[in-house]
A and B are shown apart, each in its own frame.
Chain A
Amino acid sequence: DVKVTQSSRYLVKRTGEKVFLECVQDMDHENMFWYRQDPGLGLRLIYFSYDVKMKEKGDIPEGYSVSREKKERFSLILESASTNQTSMYLCASSRLGQGVGYTFGSGTRLTVV
Chain B
Amino acid sequence: AQSVTQPDIHITVSEGASLELRCNYSYGATPYLFWYVQSPGQGLQLLLKYFSGDTLVQGIKGFEAEFKRSQSSFNLRKPSVHWSDAAEYFCAVGDLRTNAGKSTFGDGTTLTVKP
- Interface of A with B (CB < 8 Å)? 4, 31, 33, 35, 40-43, 45, 48, 50, 56, 58, 90, 92, 94-107
Could you say which of A58, A100, A105 contacts B101, with CB atoms under 8 Å apart?
A: A100
In the bound complex, what is the Cα–Cα distance between A95 and B46 (angstroms)? 14
Task: Please report the total number of B residues contacting A with Cβ < 8 Å.
Answer: 27
CB pair B101 A99 closer than 8 Å? yes
B18 to chain A, nearest CB (A): 25
Top 7 closest pairs, chain A to chain B, by CB? A104-B43, A99-B32, A42-B107, A43-B105, A101-B46, A50-B100, A104-B44
User: Is the Cβ of B43 less than 8 Å from the Cβ of A56?
Assistant: no
Chain B 33-70 per-residue mask, 1 if CB under 8 angstroms from chain A, else 0:
01010000111111001010000000000000000000
Nearest residue, chain A, Cβ from B43? A104
Task: Please tell me if B103 contacts chain A, counting CB pairs below 8 Å.
Answer: yes
List the A side residues contacting B41 at CB < 8 Å: 106-107
Q: Which residues of A contact B96 (CB under 8 A)?
A: 98
Q: Report 19 cross-chain contacts, Cβ distance below 8 Å, ordered by A residue.
A: A4-B43, A31-B101, A42-B90, A42-B108, A48-B100, A50-B98, A50-B99, A50-B101, A58-B102, A92-B44, A97-B99, A97-B101, A98-B96, A99-B49, A99-B101, A101-B46, A104-B45, A106-B43, A107-B41
> Of B9, B32, B42, which one neighbours A98 at CB under 8 angstroms?
B32
Kindly state the separation between the CA atoms of A102 and B108 in the bound complex, as whole angstroms. Answer: 16
